[in-house]
Amino acid sequence: MIKSSTISKSKFIFVAAVMLWIKTYIVYKTSFDIKIENLMQEFILLINPLSFLLLFFGISFFMKPKKRNKFIIFASLLSSFVLFANVVFYRFFNDFLTLPVLFQTSNMGDLGTSITGNLKITDPLLFIDVVILILLNKYKPSFTIAEVITKKERRSYFILVAVIFFLNLGLAEAQRPQLLTRTFDREMLVKNIGTYNYQIYDIVLQSKSSAQRALADSSSFIDIENYLKANQKDPGENFGIAEGKNVVVISMESLQSFVINETIDGEEITPFLNEFIKESYYFDNFYHQTGQGKTSDSEFLLENSLYPLGRGAVFFTHASNEYTATPEIIKEHGYYSSVLHANNKTFWNRDIMYDSLGYDQFYDIESYEVTEENSIGWGLKDIDFFEQSIDLLKSQPQPYYSKFITLTNHFPFELEEEDKMVNEYTSNSRTLNRYFPTVRYMDESIKLFFDRLKEEGMYENTIFVLYGDHYGISENHNKAMAQFLGKEEITPFDSIQLQRVPLIIHIPGVTDVNPQVVSDVSGQIDLKPTILSLLGMDLKNDVHFGHDLFSKDRLPFTVLRDGSFITEKYVFTKNTCYDRTTGEETESSFCEPYMEKAGLELDYSDEIIYGDLLRFYNGTSYTEPIPEEFKE
């Protein structure tokens, strides 16, 4: 199809494409944990970078010969940078970059330690092909000389590119039907269409989502209203049990449930929380449901009972939307709302988003005295943060709803020796090793905070909600995690179980008299309706996907942002159904009844956000009859 003369005229292009192709495949195999199930999937993984690279370098055919080689070097550098950025991002987040994440530039200054903590001494090798191209262009002009390409030769070249692309897409579609319409799993997309094609696809998705708001109208909300109404549950027996009390919510940075009641060298990792659980409601099958927005996603779930987006962070992409958030609802009941977080107000675009959510006050880093002595890693140490927050809390009108966001237990889990109360772990993962001392430090900071609240007489009239915001240890550390848990390996089922985070609800005079461990499957989507129900606030006409965790007729079901879900008996992830009791694979038919519900909830939530549909909602009761297909 393509003549040898064209290849001869384009040696520089083909050398550049082949080097980047081979490099990308090596990165796939060494830097990304991409599951390969058969030889066909391996073949697809091998060829998927090729069509994009040939197309991108082929643009040079339309340039004058003098500029062609410079463009090829630039194209190789740009492609290598995209690959490098994905490698660094994947090392911590176990995920691939999306366009909205790239635009979160206001976070970059604060992300410094996280980024440098994920760099490796071998990373410059990702640009070795660019260096080779520069040297060839400078010292081998006979090899890199750019000749005129005829229209016929260009046509043959791009026909070859099209053939490779459609071969790749056809094989991928055979392996994974509806590949491009089921976008929850970025690993699946990268595995089948490649890193570079995925980035282009992501740009298309971003353009599509931007158009959704302009095209949306009130009719777009009808099916969603019907679904939510059909799945609405009556409040639980604890409705109104904390009516009129102050609310303190503590977002515990990167805290996963596997550390609860565990020890390091005989020392408890979370001694305070272990005891606190004994006088509280503790939910031991509570899952985080965050996406790329991490802590900001957990806040979004908490305040709205909507799912975060699968790409980017809602706090950045849709901060100007209309929401029916918790701070706005409780304001109607006389509550004052605030957030206390010793970080820059622009990080995660919080200063804009908090206004949209209806918060009265944001106590950011300017409200705290931060010095070199009382800060480390991401900023003010948790003990100092809580200590300095007491006076801020006392200055607020009551009743108040105040959210505290901790910092110390944040990757890369830095802590000075004098602050370490347990030893580091010993494994091949420096990240996991350093995780335990920072968890212990956060636990101590919460203990001291409660001691001060009691001293100040601020404890008895307050309901406390403590929850882990997202995972701290990604799947990239599975070998070390298996060692800590005493397992041979971490399976996909185990990975889902590791997405459990603590949820502790403490009501003085109630939970200390009658503590409970609640083992029903639940998630962060349920926080808003649970908190408001405990406060005695009616949510019949509110838009939310979660349920009061004390409701007797609540379905034990939680869907994660990647489309995985957990039910009372089964776990579905990586296109596989697992028995929740044994952790073994089981028939997919057992999970099928929940698949549509999982997809529907994520899709409907996305529609609300992308279309800004809550601007059409006036908070009145539903008047239309509910179609049967929406009823559980």
DSSP string, 471-494: -SS-GGGHHHHHHHHT-S---HHH
What the block records as the tokens of 271 is 């001694």
What are the Cα distances from residue 100, in Å, to 10, 97, 210, 271, 312?
Answer: 36, 8, 11, 39, 5
* Cis-peptide into 399, omega within 30 deg: yes
Question: What are the contacts of 590-597 at 24+ separation with CB within 8 A?
Answer: 591/565, 591/567, 594/557, 594/565, 594/567, 594/570, 595/565, 597/557, 597/559
d(CA 483, CA 463): 38
* Cis-peptide into 502, omega within 30 deg: no
Amino acid (one-letter) located at 170 = G
Beta-bridge partner residues of 523: 287
How many other CB atoms sit within 10 Å of the CB of residue 262?
15
Closest alpha carbon to 254 in 426, 473, 570, 35: 473
d(CA 531, CA 329): 12
Annotated catalytic residue within 6, 183, 290, 295: 295
Strands 516-518 and 281-283: parallel
DSSP 8-state secondary structure symbol assigned to residue 97 = -
Helix, strand, coil percentages (3-state) for the chain, rounded to 5, are 50, 10, 40
Closest alpha carbon to 57 in 43, 78, 38, 42: 78
What are the Cα distances from residue 137, in Å, to 14, 71, 132?
Answer: 14, 12, 9
Strands 286-287 and 246-252: unpaired
Q: Residues, the chain, total?
A: 632
**Half-sphere exposure of residue 101: CA atoms within 13 angstroms, side-chain side:** 22
Residue 295 annotated as catalytic = yes
Catalytic (active-site) positions: 295
